[in-house]
Structure formats: C-alpha cells, structure tokens
Amino acid sequence: MEEIRELGSSRAGEIHCLSIVGQIEGHQLLPEDAKTTKYEHVLPLIAAIEESSEIQGLLILLNTMGGDVEAGLAIAELIAGMRKPTVSLVLGGGHSIGVPLAVAAKRSMIAPSAAMTIHPVRINGVVIGVPQTYRYFSKIQDRIVSFVTDHSAISREEYLRLMNNTDELANDVGTVIHGEEAVSCGLIDCIGSLSDALSYLHNEIES
C-alpha cells in the first residue's frame, strides 16, 4: 500500500509526498516481482490529501514505466482536479502514461538527466484485427492527447509529431525527449530539482 509521507511544514501547513513508480497497475495484476503503483491504493490517498485540513501541498515524484492506460488517466484526472498546490517532478523516466501524470500537476518539473518517452497506445499480445479494435484504441489515444495538450503548453500538432515519429526509436514509433527538450517543446514547465519543487509548494502555501 502506498503511504502518504510528511516531508515538512510551513506556517500554512504540511507538504506531503506521493511516489508513482514503475508500472501503473490497473485491474489486470502484474507479476509479484514487478515494481508497480496500484491505482486503487493511490486514488483514495489523493482524495484524502485533498480533503485533509492539515495537508496544504502535494509533491508527486514520478519514475514510470508505462502500465494500464485507464488507471493512469484516472490518477491524472484526480491530480488535475485538486484545489491544493501540486507539483510533479520527473526523475529517471516518464514513460507512456507518465506523461499525463506529469502534466496533471499545477506545476511540472523534470530533472536535467530525466527523459520522457512519447509513443502511441499499444498492448502486448495478439490484437484481433477488427474495426472495433482500431476505433477503441483511437478513442483512448485521443483522450490521452487531449489531456496532455489541455494541461501543458505543447501543441496538439507537436505532440502528435513526437508520438508518431519513426526515426527515433528502433523497431518502434515515438520519441524520447530529455529534460531541456521537454521544457523547450512546452510539455514540462521547467527544469527542477527536489529543492525547486519544495520551494514552489512552500511559496504557494504561504501566499
């Protein structure tokens, strides 16, 4: 079970940390040896943070490896709907569903050495080649693109270009962008470190 951990306090209240690492686990269980974030544990924690009279800010640490798209979007929607100050910090990598999770916060930051992987929705295993399947994946993809472009400064055209790039990844479609690139294209607000993220939250709380 994920824990809500107190990081510190200001005159206005406490800052708490939520780490979202590995794969986002939805209704389909992942192997026991896989590092996962279980969305059914995270959702009530986010609601509790928002409702708490003591907690005044939320720091979200991200190092994701993809996972269940529906579960990841559910977490992202809750974060985006919070009234309290929120800041995300991408560390290591933000793969696939980690992109909407990063931009869901009111302020998004990325470590200089971190990277984000943007690619289309896909699943492992056999896909039945029927029109309904393609329409289903198209609708999911459109939801992700709309969420990301609604909560960041990147344009829809640029995001689709990065997502459908065929020159970047071997045997795959998509793009890997690093810290400065993620900021320059408008996907992430700024380069930052732990101290930058905490400073932002303390300033928002005290103001």
- What span, in angstroms and rounded, lies between the C-alpha atoms of 4 and 42? 9
Q: Let me know: does 114 contact 94? Beta carbons within 8 Å.
A: yes
Other beta carbons less than 10 A from residue 104's beta carbon = 25
Phi, psi of 102 (to 5 degrees): -65, -45
**Identified catalytic residue from 88, 96, 108, 152:** 96
Residue 70, token pair as written in the block: 């529906």
Active site residue 202: no
Active site annotation includes 152? no
Contact 155, 149 (CB under 8 A): yes
Q: What is the DSSP string of 54-90?
A: SEEEEEEEEEEEEE-HHHHHHHHHHHHT-SS-EEEEE
Q: Which residue in the block uniquely carries the two structure tokens 């590995």?
A: 22
Residue 176 pairs in a beta bridge with: 117
Catalytic one of 16, 119, 151, 202: 119
Active-site residue set: 96, 119
